[in-house]
Amino acid sequence: MKFNYRIAIFALAIIFGIVFSIPSLLQTQEGKKVSLGLDLQGGLHMLLGVKTEEATKSRIKSLAASIKHFSERKDILIDSLTFDEVSVSFKLLDSDDLKTIQEFLAAVEGATIVLNGEEISLSLTPQEIEKTKQQAISQAIETIRNRLDQFGLAEPVVARQGEEKILVQLAGIKTQEEEQRARELISRAAKLELMAVDEGKVARVYNMSHADAAAYGDVILEDAKNPEVKHLVHEIPILDGGMLTDASVGFDQNNRPVINFKLNAEGAEIFGDFTGKSVGKRLAIVLDGKVYSAPNINERIGGGSGQISGDYTVMEAQDLAIALRSGALLAPIYLMEKRSVGPSLGADSIQASLIALVGGFVLVIIFMVVYYRAAGVIANIALIANLFIILAVMSLFGATLTLPGMAGIVLTVGMAVDANVIISERIRELLNEGKSMHKAIEEGYSNAMRAILDANITTLIAAIVLYAYGTGAIKGFAITISIGILASMLTAILGTHGIYEMLESKIQKSKNNLFWFGIKA
């Protein structure tokens, strides 16, 4: 007897299918499993945009802050320090300092310096603006990822999608509160600024408009605890959260949660310098544009640590500390797309699609046996093997099973028997022409081959396009359909042919066309 390679490959495929689908079917601890899509297990999918123009703005703002700090340190007198969207300008009062300030400005990357008499302006180059925008996006991705990693959900997905979108996927969110917390954590700017209170004019703050304040180089900020209370602070901050190294939750003397933060060496130096010469004045601790506290400076504060107090719950304080530690978002983010599915809906979808799968499967199995008898049984074996292989391949690649993906599997059940229908019909035809069963099987397979190949390849073309252009859950459909088509070529063509070869001696002896192929001889 010659070696039946077809049945050998088929047997291997079945073993492969069963072995690798066990972890997914039995949900074992070990082994690679198919993961359920957000639409089946519930979860949150968001596409976020980044307001990149805000990033250039804040870049300019911190540039202004560093010019101010530098000039104060070197006792250089400057005046009318102003900034707009892309440039900073100021007046140099003593031209002797020009060289020093020029050296400092030349060290700023991606900016062009324009001298116009005593006025000096520094503007960002278009390349630098683009770079800043790109950085804002990648920094936002990094920051959101850091925050979510510390949030405690299993395997959050944070990825860039297209040029400027950020994809965030959180599986296993169970409650509305949890989703709300996650969303707040993601979108929180967490921008910490230490700002000087304008002691000279603060008494008049309630009679001032925002434009008035701006004219003085000041800005009016609300108090975090009581929005009625206003603070007047210098617009250019002393330092910002970029110099923060750590933030953690602590408790104050009244045992209320507070956030302790530490600054890096540079920040500590600036902080020390400022507090040293501002004794008696007030320092505002500003988070996301709101003043959390404005304590009096009693002495020079070295060491660079501080505290933010507010009416927090412990959980809020923890989330805020996470946000501060992961860094501020350079630019605010906004929602472009959101899909949120509750776990109960996911469970319903799983149940409904399983019923459809089992129902369709049983119908097809019964039909094939009734219509083709033994040939139908053989086709059904191939079909079952096909389902295992789909599951196994998806598990191995760690693919995600979505609701459309389930629909794809259901559809595959209907379409996978197609190859066997084509083959069986060919064989029947040849038997009707009076050919022997052995010859009919061999010729049936070779005649049907070309048609099956062409038909499957065209379906595959549609599936591949769907995969390339589809988004989210739809990709899952393209995946299951494609694997199903490829697996059906293996099981329905090779597998069933192998089975016929194996049964060849029996088939030749019996000559019972009704039993084997469901037709009267």
Partner 1 sequence: MEMFKYTNNLNFMGKSKFALVVSVLLVLSSYIILATKGLNYGVDFAGGTVVQVKYTADAPIDVMREKLKSDALFDGASITEFGSADEVVIRMKSTSASVTVDIGDVTREALKGTGEYEIRRVDIVGPKVGSELKEKGVMSLLLAILGILIYVAFRFEWRFAVASIVALVHDISIALGAIALVGLDVNLDVLAALLTILGYSLNDTIIVFDRIREGVVENRTGELEDTINESVTKTLSRTTLTSLTTLFVVFTLFMFGGEIIHSFAFTLLVGIVVGTYSSIFVASPILLWFGFDVKKYHIKLSEKAKREADKQRMRDQFESGVM
Q: Which stretch binds partner 1 (CB under 8 A): 4-12, 18-26, 292-300, 462-470?
A: 462-470
Q: CA–CA separation, 33 vs 397, rounded Å?
A: 9
Block residue for tokens 């707009």: 84
- Pick the piece of the chain touching partner 1 (CB under 8 A) from 70-78, 291-299, 314-322, 424-432: 424-432
Strand locations in 84-118, DSSP E?
87-92, 111-116
Q: Which region, judged by CB under 8 A, interacts with partner 1, from 133-141, 180-188, 222-230, 264-272?
A: 180-188
92 contacts partner 1 (rule: CB under 8 A): no
Q: Is residue 199 near partner 1 by the rule CB under 8 A? A: no
Please pick, from the candidates 31, 470, 490, 503, the single residue that binds partner 1 as defined by CB under 8 A.
470
Can residue 315 be called a binding residue for partner 1 (CB under 8 A)?
no
- Provide CB contacts within 8 A for 72, sequence distance 6+: 273
Residue 220 · residue 208 · CB < 8 Å: yes
333 is an interface residue for partner 1 by CB under 8 A: yes
Give min distance, CB of 139 to partner 1, in A.
Answer: 17
Q: Which residues in the 216-235 window bind partner 1 by CB under 8 A?
A: none
Residue for token pair 């060919």: 426
462 binds partner 1 (CB under 8 A): yes
Q: How far is the CB of 495 from partner 1 (least distance, A)?
A: 18
What residues between 109 and 168 interact with partner 1 by CB under 8 A?
none
By CB under 8 A, tell whether 474 contacts partner 1.
yes
Looking at this protein, which amino acid is placed at residue 166? I
Q: How far apart are CA 506 and CA 498, in angstroms?
A: 14
Q: Give the DSSP H/E element, type plus range, for residue 412.
A: helix 403-432
* Amino acid letter, 30: E
Measured from the CB atom, is 132 or 482 closer to partner 1?
482
Q: How many residues contact partner 1, by CB under 8 A?
A: 83
- Do residues 238 and 274 make contact, with C-beta atoms less than 8 angstroms apart? yes
CA distance 87 to 65: 13
Q: Which is nearer to partner 1, 121 or 169 (CB)?
A: 169
Show contacts with partner 1 in window 17-76 (CB under 8 A): 39, 46-49
Residue that the structure tokens 């501002």 belong to: 278
Phi, psi of 254 (to 5 degrees): -90, 15
Kind and range of the H or E element at 338? strand 333-341
d(CA 73, CA 121): 20
Kindly indicate which of the ranges 13-21, 147-155, 256-264, 409-417 contains the residues binding partner 1, using the contact rule CB under 8 A: 409-417
Q: Are strands 35-36 and 400-401 parallel, antiparallel or unpaired?
A: parallel
> Candidates 287-295, 302-310, 349-357, 491-499 — which segment interacts with partner 1 by CB under 8 A?
349-357
Residue from the set 352, 508, 515, 521 that interacts with partner 1 by CB under 8 A: 352
Taking CB under 8 A as the binding criterion, the range among 102-110, 224-232, 314-322, 343-351 that sits at the site for partner 1 is 343-351
**Distance of closest approach, residue 278 Cβ to partner 1, in angstroms:** 35
Tell me: does residue 418 bind partner 1 (CB under 8 A): yes
Contact between 349 and partner 1 (CB under 8 A)? yes
* Minimum separation from the CB atom of position 133 to partner 1 (A): 17
Strands 305-309 vs 400-401: parallel, antiparallel or unpaired: unpaired
CB of 202 or CB of 463, closer to partner 1: 463
- In the bound state with partner 1, the residue whose beta carbon lies nearer, of 321 and 379, is 379
Q: Which of residues 478-517 bind partner 1 (CB under 8 A)?
A: 478, 481
Question: How far is C-alpha 453 from the chain's CA centre?
Answer: 38
The Cα diameter of the chain in Å comes to 113
CB-based burial of residue 192 (10 Å sphere; 0-12 exposed, 13-18 middle, 19+ buried)? buried
CB of 325 to partner 1, least distance (A): 20
